[in-house]
Amino acid sequence: MTVLLALPPLAVTTPASAATTRTAAPYCYEEPSQPTADVSDLKARFTASNWMQTLQTMYRRRWPSGEALAVAQARDQYWTQFVRTNSFEAFAESMMVAIHEETHMWDLDPARTRWNVHTAAWINASRQDTTVPLHDGFPRKEIIPLITDRLSDSMDGIYLRDRTQGEYHLQGVLAELNAGLTGLPAVTVVQEYIRGIGASNARDIAATNLRYLLLYLRVAKSRHPDYWTKIKNEPKLRELVLTQFLRTAYWLEKSAPYTGKLGSPDADRITATNYSAENIAILEEFTGRRVRTDTQKNCTL
């Protein structure tokens, strides 16, 4: 299993720009991708010195949102900690971690995020949410009693039971989910080149972090009513939560044929619990929108 970096709070000072307008119903989350576009020429020319050019061109052809993020983060000094360049296959496999972590770098840049006050989220090439209010919150470890299975146990140990990570509030929950939702498409669209286990929990990460968000909302309502009232009255936050729910469904469906390579069977089992009556009820109450639970789970009603 690939373990991703758990980022600490950043020192932040600068407010972000305006966020996008709420989406009108009915709404289906979708974004462009062409996972069969030819990249054989990129594979043939790949070297350790042209990896950034290769990355941008590869995603320009197969997943434009990945190209846009790579362009936005091209000067970040930390890429080389995550990108493997010993072969094209290793390079493709390393994209789950690289894109996941560079999403953190964009989202949590001090120009956009003020820890526990407001956050930002790179959604795709055409949408980046900023100044999403958080109103602090409570430690995410409080959701542990609602997890009655061991399907997400390895991640629970990192993000919930860890002495430091367990104390993170809604900021941490949203940040990990958003990064997971870029890491998953990053490898879904190049899955045929993945040979190892470096992306083998991409689907689990997305499903588990959505689990954490839904349970966090349930605990907010039941144990922190004042906080629940505050966040429920924040349109930007409500829209972001809805988008992330639909977006998770969208990319889990796109990646479903590659279970085993991009995730364990537990990802689908976790997803089934995410669609429990209690979880759908809290999502719909919080967002004010009804969601589909049939074969078009990436859509509202």
192 secondary structure, DSSP code:
G
Q: What is the mean pLDDT of residues 136-144?
A: 98
Give me the number of domains the chain comprises. Answer: 1
Q: Is the pLDDT of residue 187 over 50?
A: yes
Task: Provide the sign of the torsion angle of the four alpha carbons 291, 36, 38, 182, taken in this order.
Answer: positive
In 86-180 the beta strands, taken as DSSP E runs, fall at 118-124, 127-133
- Domain that residue 278 falls in: 115-287
Q: Is the pLDDT of residue 24 over 90?
A: no
Is 46 inside a domain boundary? no
Structure-block tokens of residue 202: 């991409």
Average pLDDT, the chain: 93
H-helix or E-strand spanning residue 128: strand 127-133
Is 256 inside a domain boundary? yes
Is 153 inside a domain boundary? yes
pTM above 0.75?
Answer: yes
Residues in a beta bridge with 133: 118
Q: What is the mean pLDDT of residues 30-38?
A: 98
Is 36 inside a domain boundary? no
65: number of Cβ within 10 Å: 22
Is 45 inside a domain boundary? no
Structure-block tokens of residue 185: 């498409």
